[in-house]
Amino acid sequence: MRTLLVIVLGATILSAADKTKSIETKTKVHRLASQQRSAFDAFVYINRIPEKTMDGELPEDFAGRIYGRLANQEGRILLKLPPTMDRKAYFGFKTFLGSEGDAKVANCVSCHSSPSFTDGKSHVVSQGGAAKPTPSLRNSKLSAADLEKVVREKMALSKLKKSGGAPKLAEAYARIVITDADVANLVAFLATLKDVDDKRFRELIIDAKVFDATQPAPVELPATPPVLSGVVRLEGKPPGRRRLNMTSESARLYQKMPLDENVLVGKNGGLANVFVYAKRGVERKQYSVPEKPALLDQQKSMFRPRIQGVRVGQKFIIRNSDPYIHNTRSLSLRNRMFNVGQPPRSADRERVFKRAEGPISLGCDFHKWMAAWIFVVDHPFFAVTDANGNFEIKGLPRGDYTLEAWHEEYGDQRLKVTTAPSGKTELNFEFKSKNQ
């Protein structure tokens, strides 16, 4: 009994003394021998990546062992990435290791193997310089720009070493193969080696997402993208607008009966609600899909907006903001048609289109005058004209394209355009009124 009491009291005293220790330390659930807590370590933890070299194992063999693990995970789409380790950083890690299947290529891992990211040795790392201790790459205070500068300096030294111009440089430089296309990824990986606190480390593990490395990288638009702009005009006298023949419940939402919106013309004949998009010439790539959903709202017995573009794979939300029932019926050929009923105050409904198509017409069986159109597109290069017929398409790379302008009353027009090297290109469309 006395022995048991001593054990219990001892445990109590230790528990009080260990209050400041992390949960991982107290529960001994942390698998990592290094006890480091960076985004990269969360990645290692989640995917059970080899953490350090075995006794007598060469860095390139260690890299090969990791590559084997990654290949196994990639093939079965089992890899998970923590929030701050993105696609760039993952492929930067592979660049860091070297070349899969070629032991002669061992990039940074030759002198900076994990978990400490230093081999603890000294090497000649500059032309004509003396041997210096290999620094750890963890918790670097260098900015992304400075890291890029260092990487490019290493690339230049590698080229010099291979040409025989710097025989005293460390032999590891002769085995570096890093291209310009690899630099951004490598810098992104190095940024994942900064430690975080215990709470953030747990969040990185919990919030990790499945990553499919076999899919092509989404295309990123430049920070200051080129712009294709113009005006769509209506030549001739526009048709007169007619009052809508609304039901009494819908009419009560208006002070006077609204007019139809089939043809809306603004200043200088500018035609509103024209969908303009790149019909041909866009490179077949995977473009990032907006996280923000596209929205179709039913307000005062009208669809809002009347026309819009929706990306393939983007969430499409259907909402009823009216105090009575609506339904939204789609007529499409390449995507599954739907008929969504929504009583008042009902929850939003969600759809996702899997194929490019347009125009897709939308209507309401309860209110026959309601109409809307959507174009489902597999790239971001489209726009809808404003009240005065103006449109602007950002980010369209330099090249030759066929643009199409579509209007619900006047059909479509196509024009060819070559985007200007200056980044600013103008293109105008003109439809002819039926009231000539």
CATH code of the domain in which 119 resides = 1.10.760
Domain C-terminal end among 163, 185, 210: 210
Report the C-alpha gap between 403 and 311 in whole angstroms: 17
Share of the chain above pLDDT 90, in %: 48
Q: Which residues contact 131 (CB under 8 A, 6 or more apart)?
A: 122, 123, 124
Q: How high is the pLDDT of residue 130?
A: 85
Q: Is the pLDDT of residue 4 over 60?
A: no
Torsion of CA 323, 324, 330, 336, to 10 degrees: 90
Pair 410, 236: CB distance under 8 Å: no
- pLDDT computed for residue 102 by the predictor: 65
181 and 249 within one domain: no
Cβ-contact 27, 21 below 8 angstroms:
no
For the residues 61-70, what does the mean pLDDT come to?
Answer: 83
Instruction: Note the pLDDT of residue 195.
Output: 92
Query: To 5 degrees, how large is the angle CA 189–CA 193–CA 52?
Result: 95
- 305 in the same domain as 205: no
pLDDT level of residue 256 (50, 70, 90 thresholds)? very high
Q: Tell whether 319 and 352 lie within a shared domain.
A: yes
What rounded mean pLDDT belongs to the chain?
86
The reply to whether 309 and 237 lie within a common domain is yes
Helix (H) or strand (E) holding 181: helix 180-190
Least reliable range by pLDDT among 138-152, 156-170, 415-429: 156-170
Residue 66: what pLDDT? 85
Query: Domain check: are 127 and 237 in the same one?
Result: no
Whole-prediction pTM value? 0.55
Are 33 and 89 members of one domain?
Answer: yes
| CATH classification at residue 400 | 2.60.40.420
User: Is 124 part of any domain?
Assistant: yes
Instruction: Note whether 228 and 425 are within 8 A (CB).
Output: yes
Q: What is the mean pLDDT of residues 406-429?
A: 92
SS3 312: coil
Answer yes or no: do 367 and 404 share one domain.
yes
How many other CB atoms sit within 10 Å of the CB of residue 390?
A: 16
| Mean pLDDT in residue range 421-434 | 90
Give the model's pLDDT for residue 307.
98
Q: Which of 28-37, 60-69, 170-179, 375-384 has the highest mean pLDDT?
A: 375-384
Q: For residue 161, give its domain range.
A: 18-210
Instruction: Please give the average per-residue pLDDT across 22-30, as a whole number.
Output: 51
Rounded Cα distance, 379 and 396, in Å? 10
33 confidence band (pLDDT: 50, 70, 90): low
Using one digit for the tens of pLDDT, what is the confidence trace for 308-344?
999 999 999 999 999 999 999 999 999 999 999 999 9
The residue with greater pLDDT, 48 or 264, is 264
Q: In which band, very low, low, confident or very high, does the pLDDT at 412 lie, cut at 50, 70 and 90?
A: very high
Q: Please indicate, yes or no, if residue 275 is contained in any of the structural domains.
A: yes
Distance CA 314, CA 269 (A): 33
Same domain for 82 and 138? yes
pLDDT tens per residue across span 270-285: 999 999 999 999 988 8
Q: Answer yes or no: is 12 within a domain.
A: no
Taking the C-alpha atoms of residue 278 and residue 60, their distance in angstroms, rounded to an integer, is: 47
Say whether both 182 and 106 belong to one domain: yes
Q: Which of 14-18, 197-201, 408-412, 417-421 has the lowest mean pLDDT?
A: 14-18
Q: Which residue has the higher pLDDT, 125 or 399?
A: 399
Same domain, 204 and 232: no
Query: Among the listed ranges 214-228, 253-267, 408-422, which one has the minimum average pLDDT value?
Result: 214-228
Q: Is residue 1 part of a domain?
A: no
Mean pLDDT of all residues in 398-418: 96
Inside any domain, residue 54: yes
Query: Please, which residues have CB within 8 angstroms of residue 425's CB and are 6 or more apart in sequence?
Result: 226, 227, 228, 229, 396, 417, 418, 419
What is the pLDDT averaged over residues 233-257? 94
- 299 in a structural domain: yes
Q: Work out the average pLDDT over 70-92.
A: 85
Q: What is the mean pLDDT of residues 158-168?
A: 84
Q: Among the three residues 180, 210, 240, which one is the final residue of a domain in this structure?
A: 210
Least confident of 1-5, 25-29, 245-249, 401-405: 1-5
CA–CA dist 321, 290 (Å, integer): 24
User: Does residue 12 or residue 368 have the better pLDDT?
Assistant: 368
Tell whether 139 and 256 lie within a shared domain.
no
Is 254 part of a structural domain of the chain?
yes
Residue 205 and residue 231 share a domain:
no
Residue 66: Cβ-neighbour burial (10 angstroms; 0-12, 13-18, 19+): buried
* Greatest mean pLDDT among 48-52, 73-77, 127-131, 196-200: 196-200
* Total domains present in the chain: 2
State which amino acid sits at residue 289: V
The residue out of 210, 242, 266 marking a domain boundary is 210
Asked if the structure places residue 63 within a domain, the reply is yes
